[in-house]
Amino acid sequence: MSISTERAAWGSRLGFIFAAVGSAVGLGAIWKFPYVMGQNGGGAFLLVYFGCVMLIGIALLLAEMLLGRMSQRTATSAFRVLKGGAWPIVGMFQVLALYIIVSFYVVVGGWTLAYLVSALGGSVIPDSSDQAAGRFTAVISNPTQAIAYTLGFLALTAAVVIGGVEKGIERFSKFLMPALFILMLILMARVLTLPNAIEGLLYYITPDFSKITGQVLIDALGLTFFSLSLGCGMIVAYGSYLTQSHRLVSTSLWVALLASLSGLMAALIILPAVFAFGMNPNEGPGLTFITMPVIFGQMPFGDVFAVAFFALLLFAALTSAVSLLEGIVGYCMDDWRWSRAKASWLICAAVFALSIPNALSFGVWSAPLLGDKTFFDIMDYVAVNILMPAGGFAVAVFIGWVIWPKVRIELAEECNPLWQQVFRWICAVLAPVVIAVIWYTNL
């Protein structure tokens, strides 16, 4: 971001695309996507997920970018500037979502850091899949270690946020994100040529519509929001640094495409491997971390690939965590007039506090608190399946009904009247209806 005008702005058009893709592509794709798909039984889940991305995800990305650019503000004050009334409250819930998400995101970021450290030490490749699972449990259940790695990851994130976003994100994303994609392609090629991998995969992704339960719907909806960084004001915050010269429609398409594709690629690495090694797709949050080392064990130079993979995953996780934190920091700077440094420090302290019970949910506090859910599961569910879709619902209604005349003018240069109408229809009707129906099936 160059600080030449009163408000910082993205250095270049590509800079914004990279930052938005960097925010979207992260642990959501590589950690969450495979295990949520694994828990929800394959093909039918994929269809619902891609349906949600195409039908509402892309339009909501555009809606949030518009909100940021038109107001030049982050979540709450964006609503205040454009309309006022009770609308800024929506922004507060979005900031709450960001806070909850970042506090469990740093825990998983910490696992990534731990795996990178053991890959660097050459000790990440297990003798068997059972040993891989045992090691994962050992890493995450030791309280001191889990908290220390969480803190380590949070410190890295904070360092980028305090230093300003440009140095960390715009510069490195340009080559590290493509490197991650290339590595994933190599891994996919390796896994799909393992014995039984393709058979397992085909069986798995052939859609079985009887498997579409309320749970599948809500998980697919949540994953749509999580993987595209939607519904929590974060895209609004990044959009607030946009100038009129940026093309938003194509940017939304790129972000949606790259984020959903990288999730799919990760699933096409992890799940076939799970079948080839006779592991359990229903493993839950540990799935990626347990499966990947077993895959590296099947590759020449597995140790080198392991280091590259966990290093790139760490980078991808960092760009996302930075955006989560930046969304909250931006809010405190806009609404409370805090300096960047003050906001960053105080928020990091608050995030660290909430990350502790999340980190301990896999060890000393692993007893379920509500139904079969641990503290971590509850935080995940509340933020991803409830708060994010609620935020998206509100943004859609706001754009489609409340400020539509202004939005239409804003869009006049970028898209023709037909697409404007399609966009409006999605915001005003389709997105709210889809979200409401999915919620309803879960009540």
Which is nearer to ligand PHE, 22 or 363 (by Cβ)? 22
Least CB distance to ligand PHE at residue 30 (A): 8
Q: Where are the alpha helices (DSSP H) in 206-286?
A: 214-227, 234-239, 248-276
Q: Phi/psi of residue 414, each to 5°? A: -90, -30
Select the residue interacting with ligand PHE from 17, 19, 27, 269 (CB under 6 A): 27
Which is nearer to ligand PHE, 204 or 238 (by Cβ)? 238
Write the DSSP symbol of residue 208. -
Select the residue interacting with ligand PHE from 17, 101, 273, 348 (CB under 6 A): 101
Note whether 229 binds ligand PHE by CB under 6 A: yes
| Cα R_g (the chain), whole angstroms | 21
Q: Is 373 helix (H, G, I), strand (E, B) or coil?
A: strand
Q: Hey, what are 48's tokens? A: 């619902």
348 sits in which H/E element: helix 340-360
- Taking residues 285 to 324 in sequence order and writing x for each that binds ligand PHE by CB under 6 A, - otherwise, the string is -----------------------------------x--xx
Cβ–Cβ under 8 Å, residues 43 and 206: yes
Which is nearer to ligand PHE, 111 or 275 (by Cβ)? 111
Say how far apart CA 404 and CA 398 lie, in whole Å. 8
Say how far apart CA 88 and CA 15 lie, in whole Å. 29
Which is nearer to ligand PHE, 71 or 227 (by Cβ)? 227
Which among 218, 198, 214 has a CA at the least distance from the CA of 206? Answer: 198
Piece in contact with ligand PHE (CB under 6 A), picked from 19-27, 62-70, 194-202, 345-353: 19-27
Give the C-alpha distances (Å, rounded to integers) separating 194 from 199, 275, 278, 298: 10, 10, 12, 9
Select the residue interacting with ligand PHE from 9, 17, 20, 29 (CB under 6 A): 29
Note whether 23 binds ligand PHE by CB under 6 A: yes
Note whether 226 binds ligand PHE by CB under 6 A: yes
Residue nearest ligand PHE, Cβ-based: 28
Note whether 227 binds ligand PHE by CB under 6 A: yes
How far does CA 354 lie from the centroid of its chain?
19
Which is nearer to ligand PHE, 23 or 77 (by Cβ)? 23
Select the residue interacting with ligand PHE from 24, 53, 221, 276 (CB under 6 A): 24
Residues near ligand PHE (CB under 6 A), total: 15
Least CB distance to ligand PHE at residue 138 (A): 25
Say how far apart CA 72 and CA 59 lie, in whole Å. 20
Say how far apart CA 400 and CA 407 lie, in whole Å. 9
Interface residue list for ligand PHE (CB under 6 A)? 23-24, 26-29, 101, 226-227, 229, 232, 234, 320, 323-324
